[in-house]
Amino acid sequence: MDAKHKIEQLRSELHEHNYKYYVLDNPEISDYDFDMKLKELQELEQAHPEFYDSNSPTMRVGGEVTKSFKTVVHDFPMYSLSNSYSKEDLEDWETRIQKIVEEPVEFTCELKYDGASISLTYENGEFVRAVTRGDGTQGDEITHNVKTIRSVPLKLKGDDYPERFDIRGEIVLPYEGFAKLNAEKVEQGEEPYANPRNTASGSLKLQDSGEVAKRPLLCLLYNLTGENLGVDTQMESLTKARAWGFNVPEEAQLAKSMEAVFNYIDYWDKHRRDLPYETDGVVIKVNSLQQQEELGYTAKSPRWAMAYKFKAEQVSTLLNEITYQVGRTGAITPVANLDPVQLAGTTVKRASLHNADQIEKLDVREGDVVFVEKGGEIIPKIIGVDFTQRNPDSKPTEYIKVCPVCETPLERKEGEALHFCPNSEGCPPQIIGRIQHFISRKAMDIEGLGGETVALLVKENLIEDYADLYTLKKEDVLPLERMAEKSAENLIQGIEASKEVPFERVLFGLGIRYVGETVAKKLVKAYKSIDVLASASLENLTSVDEIGERIAQSVVEFFSDDANKERIDRLRSYGLNLEISEEELENQSQKLADLTLVISGVFEKVSRKELQNLIETHGGKNTSSISKKTDYLVAGDNMGPSKRTKAENLGVKIITEDEFLKMIED
Ligand code: AMP
Ligand code: ZN
């Protein structure tokens, strides 16, 4: 088989497997086999850039960086929905409908998915763009980001789809993925995301589509829009969309009367918790498209659709005590300790109070009966106080002024929501938390040592710092509870072995605020060694791609602290990696340092992705659009004429693929 056919075959196989996995939830081959096929395709595409396809399954890994999203006008406006909160509201709506439409009306019932609304455009069966709702008339084009979402088809199945149409839906972050993302956030010493919906819409606006690809987003579709759709009812359009390969939720149902609508609402009000993602109501639509047209729109919303909002699950219970937790960065979180109560299928004993402002805003006091609600959040939250039950003698809550553990006066910086205990060197939960972070899986990953043992080692005064780990001897740890000959040996060996961990993970393990895994990698790439990083100025740091003011500030602060300097000297003396290895260094060149390049068109010798990699490994910066800051435009075949004109006008040098390859030659 020639390359062209092989590529085509792999693409269609991968599209199909992708569909079976992410839309039907019924994979046919193993992840491993899928990855192998994908790899094979990637290699073939690299060898044959002439068969470039912007909708190839290989495009799902992302990598395009968009600095600012383009505003696009929707072909058809995206309306919002009128809301109803009771069955009477719905009956009134039916009456209004029947005044306009004479024949009997049937409804479709769908769940109202709580995410970010999206409009996808398809042309000749190919995905062409994705746009956010924006103000309903125009939104942001986020095509590259949406392409990474596996449940969005890049090519449609069958052949009876309209030539051009939009399909609307919702991009959600299922609970499981949300919990995983938050666990990572917390591990990095950052505040967790508030809820899945905001996290989903935030993810869609990330600049780096490679980052979006890592987030387990899901696209649910429910509305075909366009001319000559070839369908008569909403229900039929869902069936059609499903057949074209779209992820159309199965919960939609036809209701022949308002009575049936009520049954649907009652059923899902009880069972929505069994779904893997958040829903906040039911959307009822007139099923006949002909009748929809008769009904038309108000300025804001269609007259043929209505949202019914579920009441958020809420209970009231007694708040016994407000306690305060101290995190590894010293951040204080207030926690409400409640009389245990059943909520959304779990027993709730504690709820988050967020921060001092929140307590003041709600005027929450110990001894109050409070309302607790559980949305998408993992930890339920307190949304208010039942003032009718307040004890007249109660006093407003005074937020603590000193650390609940070490009693150091707390600090709160301008513009920050949280209070901090500044005693980072002497405050036990901070000491323990820092060491626990240092040994965690993504940092030093020390075998044989767990979080509880760390707490024990600190309690027994055997260590008070992560650098102390490297002075531990078997005899020191043997007397500890539950420690045997073998486990003590493993622990010491694990610590010894961690000296081989690469610099980027050591840097992450140091626990610099806001320096998570990804930032650590970026810093290592830019500075190569801890000494160079430690002497970098604020301006220098912020000039690094994606390092903002907040991170830079935190890095500078960390390295100006004497205790940290001493720690690093000690780690160095124990033989940890505090710079990238010779080998890693050799693989890096700086031939394109300080240069910004834009790639456009199709190339003969290397793929676009490879070009991007080449630019980055040689120290250059690859951006997607031409500006005054662009140094070179690497032009391939089929480059748009507007790009060339723009480059010429701005005086950007235009070079060919060969000229580029010459630049990085040894
Ligand atoms: P609202 O933002 O409260 O006006 O509600 C309207 C939004 O609900 C729409 O823009 C959609 O993003 C969203 N929505 C969620 N599920 C559905 C559904 N099944 N049908 C229509 N809209 C939905
Ligand atoms: Zn403290």
Beta-carbon neighbour count of residue 357 at 10 Å? 11
- Specify the residue for token string 């383009």: 70
- Span(s) in the chain for CATH 3.40.50.10190: 596-663
Q: What was the pLDDT predicted at 588? A: 66
Instruction: Give the tokens for residue 528.
Output: 């190569």
Give the residue, out of 117, 118, 135, 166, with the most ligand 1 atoms within 8 A of its beta carbon, to mutate for a pocket test.
Answer: 117
pLDDT in tens, 430-469: 999 999 999 998 899 998 899 999 999 999 999 999 999 9
Integer CA distances (angstroms), 584 to 174, 504, 555, 581, 587, in order:
38, 12, 23, 5, 5
| Ligand nearest to the CA of residue 282, numbered in listed order | 1
Distance 281 CA to ligand 1 centre (A): 9
Angle at which helices 451-459 and 428-439 cross, to 10°: 140
C-alpha 77, offset from chain centre: 27
E strand residue ranges, 400-515: none
Q: What was the pLDDT predicted at 189? A: 67
Confidence of residue 312 (pLDDT cuts 50, 70, 90): confident
Ligand 1 lining (C-beta closer than 6 Å):
80-81, 110, 112-113, 117, 133, 170, 222-223, 283, 307
Q: What was the pLDDT predicted at 375? A: 62
> In this structure, what are the phi and psi dihedrals at residue 414, rounded to the nearest 5 degrees?
-40, 130
Average pLDDT over residues 250-264: 96
Distance 338 CA to ligand 2 centre (A): 25
Least confident of 423-432, 538-547, 563-572: 538-547
Report the alpha-carbon angle 311-273-151, nearest 5: 115
Q: What was the pLDDT predicted at 617? A: 76
Distance 404 CA to ligand 2 centre (A): 7
33 is in an annotated binding site: yes
Residue 581 has pLDDT above 90, yes or no: no
CATH for 596-663, among 3.40.50.10190, 3.40.50.1950, 3.40.50.620, 3.60.130.10? 3.40.50.10190
Give the residue, out of 113, 224, 253, 301, with the most ligand 1 atoms within 8 A of its beta carbon, to mutate for a pocket test.
Answer: 113
Local structure of 561: helix, strand or coil = coil
427 is in an annotated binding site: yes
Average pLDDT over residues 289-310: 93
pTM higher than 0.95: no
CA-CA distance, 223 to 169, in Å (whole number)?
A: 7
Q: What was the pLDDT predicted at 622? A: 82
CA-CA distance, 46 to 50, in Å (whole number)?
A: 9
| DSSP-assigned letter for residue 637 | B
CA-CA distance, 553 to 537, in Å (whole number)?
A: 9
591 is in an annotated binding site: no
Residue 344 has pLDDT above 80, yes or no: no
- Assigned architecture for domain 503-585: Orthogonal Bundle (1.10)
Closest CA to 169 of 132, 216, 200, 141: 132
Q: What was the pLDDT predicted at 345? A: 67
Q: What was the pLDDT predicted at 379? A: 73
CATH code reported for the domain at 312-420: 2.40.50.140
Average pLDDT over residues 504-522: 91
Q: Whose CA is nearest to atom 10 of ligand 1?
A: 80
Average pLDDT over residues 493-517: 93
Residue 378 has pLDDT above 70, yes or no: no
Local structure of 138: helix, strand or coil = strand
CATH 1.10.150.20, applies to 428-500: yes
543 is in an annotated binding site: no
For residue 170, give the ligand 1 atom closest to its CA.
12
CATH for 3-61, among 3.40.720.10, 3.40.980.20, 3.30.540.10, 1.10.287.610? 1.10.287.610
Q: Whose CA is nearest to atom 3 of ligand 1?
A: 81
| Ligand nearest to the CA of residue 428, numbered in listed order | 2
- Span(s) in the chain for CATH 2.40.50.140: 312-420
Average pLDDT over residues 387-406: 93
Confidence of residue 83 (pLDDT cuts 50, 70, 90): very high
Local structure of 260: helix, strand or coil = helix
Average pLDDT over residues 347-374: 91
- Span(s) in the chain for CATH 1.10.287.610: 3-61
Confidence of residue 640 (pLDDT cuts 50, 70, 90): confident
Exposed/middle/buried for residue 535 (C-beta within 10 Å: 0-12, 13-18, 19+): exposed
Distance 137 CA to ligand 2 centre (A): 52
Catalytic site residue 112?
A: yes
Residue 313 has pLDDT above 80, yes or no: no
Q: CATH class for domain 83-305?
A: alpha beta
Q: What is the mean pLDDT of the chain?
A: 91
Q: What was the pLDDT predicted at 593? A: 82
Number of Cα atoms under 13 Å in the Cβ half of residue 134: 19
- Span(s) in the chain for CATH 1.10.150.20: 428-500, 503-585
